[in-house]
Amino acid sequence: MKAKVFSLLALACAVTQMPVLAQPSQTQHPHIFNIYASVQEGHPQEVEITQAKIVELERCGIAAISDSTVRYEGLAPSLYITLTGPHRDLTIAKAELQKAKTCGIEGYTRRATFLGGE
């Protein structure tokens, strides 16, 4: 039942292009990221959705990338996300979120450990 509810939530977020909140972690991860879009991996429009968010952010003067959460410990698994960071500190991350918000773009901050990979 949980998987079905999560799938419906992920689909609803993909349709509205709102980020799915990453799961809280018991570990304090060292890297700070802002997440602006997330889509369940395998969604037929995962690339289009996350790339469209990158374009929106670029118009707002914010450089972002899209990546799989498999490369980040501390984020919800199996998502394709649009993110910025790692940021030096929480103040910088929050200032960027505020800048994005003035452009009509919602996001949130999460700590995670970047694991690397290709």
pLDDT at 2 over 60: no
Sheet strand arrangement including 79-87: 65-68, 79-87, 31-40, 108-114, 72-73
Mean pLDDT of 16-27: 50
* pLDDT score, position 27: 59
Question: What is the Cβ-side half-sphere exposure of residue 18, based on CA atoms within 13 angstroms?
Answer: 5
Mean pLDDT for all residues in the chain: 84
* pLDDT score, position 19: 53
* pLDDT score, position 28: 85
pLDDT at 118 over 80: no
pLDDT greater at residue 84 or residue 27: 84
Residues 63-105 have pLDDT tens digits of 999 999 999 999 999 999 999 999 999 999 999 999 999 999 9
Cis peptide before 86 (omega within 30 of 0): yes
Distance CA 96, CA 90 (A): 10
pLDDT at 20 over 60: no
H or E stretch covering 16:
helix 2-16
